Structure 1
């Protein structure tokens, strides 16, 4: 009986440890990529008529513009900047088919960094609140490459002694990716800790059971 209990405890501990360790090592499931919107319209300073970008012909530009107003990368501000500090405004309308769904005002040259404004009144009549957000550093270049008449800029930092600059890669401008990776690492660490605690707890329980049966 003692041997059977010992074998059962070992199998249980090993099985739980294997499951938990496999969960810890496995990468967190990633959501399936959503299909891009049908297109975007851009109007504003320096544009005689709106830029009409469609996914079937300008898929990369459409994705890049939509990424500038994606909720996963925007950081909300408690208040908006002064009007004099905003600079030129560009209104982006996101389309689903031929139907406008969302609209945002982009300020790539705002003092202190790009800004995004979401009006309370949206084209699809959905209920939302007006809000200001910090924009991505790459906003100006993204708009320029899409056809907006903006001067070329470089997101650069000092190159140290001797001068020089280097361009920050696009991957470094994706806070959502960094947050997901951090949560993934935290998840794996927590599961490993749980696995160790369970192994120790079940091991102690098995030892206590054996001692109890031998002292009877």
Structure 2
């Protein structure tokens, strides 16, 4: 009777240990094999409209790559609640409407004021071309805004002092790393939670297995 009971405990302990190891292996395989989330479609065109432009300017991603990246860099960080209050209209100077398109479909629009008093300003309207809505907000613009728009064809005075490292290589009034949140934060937290749950399940399985073996050893030593 005692030997039969002992065999049962050995079998139970081995089963629990096997379950724990299998769970760990499956979890590692799942985490390693989880496909990355599909990246959102990339912008393909940027257009610029202004009162001093006879017709809108268009810069394509597959055309002038450097200029396209520089123009997109003027607005692709404009998120959050804004950095400054609404300036006085008289202090803004000429306005340029920059629209970001994906496959010829307008998605985002921003107002740029490269000659604003106190430095370039940017405005994000609440209603966007793709139908989404956010809070209207004002931002300090990049110091390279004027030269970047001029390179695209806007009739703005030359300001080479605002460029360092070529088009788009200037500095922001406020450091970028203080404004842009990590894009992968949500995904990283999700993977961390999944790993913690997996480790918890494995720990429980191994603990139960060890408890069964300890009980068996105790019975045999009596």
Shorter-chain TM-score tier: 0.5 to 0.7
Label 1:155 to 1:5 Cα distance change in 2 as closer, same or farther (>3 A): farther
Match of 1:82 among 83, 87, 91: 87
Give the TM-score, by structure 2 length.
0.60
**How far, CA to CA, are the matches of 1:145 and 1:106 in structure 2?**
15
Any residues of structure 2 matched to 1:181-200 within 5 Å, and which?
A: 181-183=184-186, 186-187=189-190, 189-200=192-203
SS at match of 2:124: strand
After superposition, give the CA deviation of every residue in 1:50-80 in whole Å (9 maximum; x if it has no partner). Answer: 323244533554455345444x752233984
2:213 equivalent to 1:205: no
**How far, CA to CA, are the matches of 1:117 and 1:168 in structure 2?**
20
After superposition, give the CA deviation of every residue in 1:139-177 in whole Å (9 maximum; x if it has no partner). Answer: 615434434435242579xxxxxxxxx9669xx847898
**Equivalent pair of 1:21/1:191 in contact (CA under 8 Å):** no
Aligned residues: CA RMSD = 4.5
- Counterpart for residue 132 of structure 1: 137
After superposition, give the CA deviation of every residue in 1:157-211 in whole Å (9 maximum; x if it has no partner). Answer: xxxxxxxxx9669xx8478986135455545554444444333322222233445
**Equivalent pair of 1:69/1:116 in contact (CA under 8 Å):** no
Give the TM-score, by structure 1 length.
0.61
- Counterpart for residue 180 of structure 1: 183
- Counterpart for residue 151 of structure 1: 159
SS at match of 1:179: coil
**How far, CA to CA, are the matches of 2:189 and 2:106 in structure 1?**
40
**Equivalent pair of 1:23/1:188 in contact (CA under 8 Å):** no
- Counterpart for residue 31 of structure 1: 38
**Structure of greater relative contact order (alpha carbons < 8 Å, 6+ residues apart):** 2
Considering fraction of residues, name the structure with more strand: 1
Q: List gaps (5 residues or longer) in structure 1.
A: 157-165
State which drifts further: 7-16 or 106-115.
106-115
**Equivalent pair of 1:93/1:104 in contact (CA under 8 Å):** yes
